[in-house]
Structure 1
Amino acid sequence: MSTEQLQFSEYLNSFKDTLKSVFYQRDNIEQFIQKRGFPALVLRDIMAKNPLSVGIPEEYGGRGVKMKECLGMMDAASYESLPLSLTFGINIALFLEPVGKYGSEEAKKSVFNRFLTQQNMGGLMITEPDFGSDALGMQTSCERQGSNYHVKGTKHWQGLTGLADYWLITSRNKTAKGDLARDIDFFVCDVQQPNQQIIVEEYYNNLGLYPIPYGKNKVDVIIPEQYKLQPVSSGLNLMMDLLHRSRYQFPGMGMGFIRRMLDDAIEHCKTRIVSGKPLIKLDQVQHQINKIQSAFTVCSAMCSRSAEYAGVEKNLGADAIEANSMKAYVTDLMQSSAQILTQLKGANGYKAESVSSRGIIDSRPFRIFEGSNDMLYTQISEMVTKLMVRKKELNLSSFLKGFNLTEKVSEQFKGLIDFTIDPKVVQRKSVDLGKILSRIVSANMVVSMAEKGFRNDLITNSIENLKQEVSMLVSSYQFQTNIATIEDYKESSTWLDIV
């Protein structure tokens, strides 16, 4: 192990000790996790370890923005608290990394110094009340006024609403005619400065993720030109680079969470005695635990891939297929792992303070924010289909054999995917195809991780689970149905009238 690795290992272990201290000795996480916000002393002790330093370049006093370390910090946090890990994810992936890559020297010096010395935090404002996933339709505007920009609009569902010291705000330039340009501009807003305060119009009563405040924000600020991010090509490319890198880091948040679900499932089923023998001896119980174990292996493979590939030095604007596959599939795995653990724990799993029921609620929005999973699966399907049409190869097995994200495992899945796709399928079929592709892309990562020496029995079990899942998805994809919603369904549909 290198000195650098040892240093991070020691740093991470010290951070884990701090989490155990604040969550189980100084306070009781099972009690305060059901309340809004982290207790002040708990957050103070956590931030005193400077966990966000992993997202700050070395020349500014940070640990160097090494993707392995960023993922490792989120992993450690999510084992104990998914909201804490998401807080780190928001700060690192959605604020510090883009500021470090695209910000001016003046902005970087100021921001990074306050993060390191004053435990400041930052978030990202994209979503608007009338333009959720349609980011390109945003109405927040910016106008140049001398050496400043006037940024005005309304944003909502920003994690850390009312809590962040900095915001990365997206807007569109207002033209001389009063129209809004197509490209996106990014501004670093410092709420501690005059004319840069963000007005919180409403705090949302969000279900789950209680420690993180969400709400509706009124933006009407004056920001110096030095605090405008400078894209290499366009603001749209900057946004895709930012969002894709964030999606590559979702496995970091998922890693500790899934491992916690797995550890608790094994421990409970080994100690829970039913009809004179441990619960874990039951075949169906082992089948369910194996699903969580497969999720653990897949997520490990994703982390390994992201650590090696998704560093800030790369532009990930064109990596939508892999980024979307990671985000959508790992968040599905997080939700299913929590559901399985809750079922295995029976009545005890339904207690509000249970890590499993809390996990169901806290992991559910991960399948919605930063692009809902159905939308991302549709995009994966559409992008791959375009590549297939361009290559004039519509047999899925044949195409994936030569596709760089699936070439290592295409033969293993050949018997399941040896069929011709229809480029003009209905959207529900696109979602199915996107799911199929995401699982095979993930299997490719698992095989790549196996080549580095990861435990073989976990690899084998995971590939078998992935094959079973793909088999079920292919059946759904090929099942022909014309089912449509019957909007005016109430006539002749009351069961009491026919009995």
Structure 2
Amino acid sequence: MINKDVISLSTKEFLGNLKNFFDKYFGDDAQKKIDLMEYLPEDKWLEIKKQGLLAPFLPAEYGGRTPSQKELLEVLRLAGHYGVPVTLRTGIEGALVIQPLTKYAKKELIEKVLPFIFEGEGGGLAITEPDSSGSAIAKEMLSYYEFLENGNIYIKAKKYWQGNSQSDFLLVAAKEKKGEKMEKSINLLFVPRKNIKFTPIKSEGLKAVRYAVNEIEGEIPAENLILLSEVPRKNLREFQDLFIRSRLQFIGMTHGIIENVHNNVTKYIRNKIDFIMHELHEIDSRRAVSKVLYDFVCKTVSPDKPVNDKLMEANIVKAVASEYAYEAARIAQKLMGAKGYESGHPISNIVLDIRPFTIFEGPNDMLFAEVFDQFSKTSIEEKNNGITLNKGMTIYERFISDSRFVFENGKESLKAVSENIYNFINIYKLSDINPVKKVFAGKILSKLFVLGRIHNDAYTEKFLVREINKDILDFNY
């Protein structure tokens, strides 16, 4: 299914080969450049997949490459240099389809589905429902399946905002129904196109990645069921693991996009006017923060190891990375003047397509609030060591006790970096933070997480201190 020659290439050669194919269809000098404001032609996309685009997501036993988180993120980063839809579709098929499929499905089903991905139009992961907002795991999920007397499964679901809708299949999240009772645990089901009625969504951007309302109903073979765990109480944990991994790997997409923004804007800036240079530094600072998060994920995540102990870190990575990529794109569009508003201009496309990244997989404000919630509870490591937390602790006391917040850059303490921030988090106790202030406290903590991992970069450190002080003003408003 994949060109075997590319499997044995070194990482450098492998990425170079992919770049050649990206250039062929999306590069500035492409003879028949694909319009990313329209759906990606399946024949062209399939040709890129044949060159190993998704191989880092695929276990070696099924024809993929040796597992490497760095290589996986590098593919997403490289794809981001050619447009938001290019890296997004790579992420959808790799992180949201191949990874859960090959981790949880039985071998027979895996071998049945992979040809749809590597020889057909692929598929997507269907979770979000129009009748229960964006709540994926909560009891509001209405999608269900039930076993029939003939041994098949009947499934009924309504899903929307799934990338790759209208493709060959969807992996559908649903709960088992027994009589009138709906189980709490969630599993996935492989549902082919014939069981799905599509109503396309007219989105403002991301037109190259098809979205639709998907009405799913009918009988499917029982072997199409993908149990996330044989133990029902563990299913939600595995379902959560899927999202944690996806949010952590989000940084590959956003980092490539923010580099793309920088590369594009510097092509057009000619005059070194002071304020323009200031705005370029603003883009560069956000790119530097993104690089810190990118390196963190490369260092601490492995494709073949669980990540359910990294929920707080995943929310930080996704929220900060997408926020800064969007802000960088908006600054670039402003610097381009009227040119940046032209339909089809690279910067115009990026601004339009990147904004949903701050909403998809959890709106960022919600994720920042969750960061504070996760910070104010015992971590998995602390639970295993029998440690409990006192809600009367100040934020600072919790900060220095939490091993997830470290200063790797040689600074002795937070006070040595910023006395103002140090004093602020010494004032408030964990129990003082109301639901609104959780959002701003989460923003502060997320940037402190990055701040402690900056090495020998006084400019980016100064930038983050400024950003945290802005969040403190919002917190106090």
Superposition TM-score tier, normalisation by shorter sequence: 0.7 to 0.9
TM-score with structure 1 length normalisation? 0.84
Deviation sequence 1:355-400 (CA, Å, 0-9, x none): 2221111000011111111111111112223349824563222322
Aligned to 2:445: 437
CA separation in 1, counterparts of 2:305 and 2:49? 29
How far did residue 130 of structure 1 move? 1.3
How far did residue 188 of structure 1 move? 2.2
How far did residue 414 of structure 1 move? 5.2
Aligned to 1:491: none
Larger mean CA deviation between 178-187 and 217-226 belongs to 217-226
- Which of 148, 152, 168 in structure 1 is aligned with 2:156? 152
Change over 3 Å in CA distance of 1:463–1:222 after alignment to 2:
farther
- Unpaired runs of 5+ residues, structure 1, are 272-277, 451-455, 480-499
Question: Are residues 1:420 and 2:427 paired?
Answer: yes
Q: Is the Cα contact below 8 Å between 2:161 and 2:211 reproduced in 1?
A: yes
Q: Is the Cα contact below 8 Å between 1:325 and 1:442 reproduced in 2?
A: no
Aligned to 1:220: 217
> What is the root-mean-square deviation of aligned Cα atoms in Å?
2.3
SS at match of 1:152: strand
Change over 3 Å in CA distance of 1:181–1:478 after alignment to 2:
same
Aligned to 2:187: 185
Aligned to 1:399: 398
Pairs aligned (count)? 447
Question: Are residues 1:101 and 2:99 paired?
Answer: no
How far did residue 334 of structure 1 move? 1.0
Aligned to 2:471: 473
Aligned to 2:10: 7
- Give the 5 Å matches for 1:98-497: 98-116=100-118, 118-135=119-136, 136=138, 137-145=140-148, 146-163=150-167, 165-176=168-179, 178-191=180-193, 197-200=195-198, 202-232=199-229, 233=231, 234-269=234-269, 271=270, 278=271, 280-282=272-274, 284-387=275-378, 390-392=389-391, 394-408=393-407, 411=414, 412-413=417-418, 415-418=420-423, 419-422=426-429, 423-444=431-452, 446-447=453-454, 450=455, 456=456, 459-479=457-477
Change over 3 Å in CA distance of 1:179–1:341 after alignment to 2:
same
Aligned to 2:383: none
- Which of 74, 77, 80 in structure 2 is aligned with 1:75? 77
* Matched residue type, 1:260: N
Deviation sequence 1:313-366 (CA, Å, 0-9, x none): 322223211000111111101110100101111121121222222111100001
How far did residue 139 of structure 1 move? 0.5
* Matched residue type, 2:241: D
CA separation in 1, counterparts of 2:152 and 2:403? 45
Aligned to 1:274: none
Deviation sequence 1:163-208 (CA, Å, 0-9, x none): 2x232111111123x12121112112233xxxx52111x1111011
SS at match of 2:185: coil
* Matched residue type, 2:434: V
* Matched residue type, 1:469: E
CA separation in 2, counterparts of 1:27 and 1:88? 21
* Matched residue type, 1:364: R
Change over 3 Å in CA distance of 1:478–1:281 after alignment to 2:
same
Deviation sequence 1:13-56 (CA, Å, 0-9, x none): 11111111212323234xx223x302355434423323112211
Q: Is the Cα contact below 8 Å between 1:397 and 1:414 reproduced in 2?
A: no
* Matched residue type, 1:143: E
Q: Is the Cα contact below 8 Å between 2:83 and 2:350 reproduced in 1?
A: no
Q: Is the Cα contact below 8 Å between 2:174 and 2:188 reproduced in 1?
A: yes
CA separation in 2, counterparts of 1:315 and 1:303? 18
How far did residue 460 of structure 1 move? 2.7
User: Runs of 4 or more off by more than 6 Å in structure 1?
Assistant: none
Aligned to 1:61: 63
- Unpaired runs of 5+ residues, structure 2, are 1-6, 380-387
Deviation sequence 1:124-176 (CA, Å, 0-9, x none): 0111111122222110111012543211121111111102x232111111123
Aligned to 1:46: 48
CA separation in 2, counterparts of 1:42 and 1:344? 33
SS at match of 1:211: coil
* Matched residue type, 1:398: E
Q: Is the Cα contact below 8 Å between 1:18 and 1:46 reproduced in 2?
A: yes
* Matched residue type, 2:475: Y
SS at match of 1:25: coil
Change over 3 Å in CA distance of 1:245–1:413 after alignment to 2:
farther
CA separation in 1, counterparts of 2:373 and 2:273? 44
* Matched residue type, 1:28: K
* Matched residue type, 1:85: T
SS at match of 1:386: coil
* Matched residue type, 2:228: P
Q: Is the Cα contact below 8 Å between 2:228 and 2:239 reproduced in 1?
A: no
* Matched residue type, 1:154: K
Change over 3 Å in CA distance of 1:113–1:59 after alignment to 2:
farther
SS at match of 1:182: strand
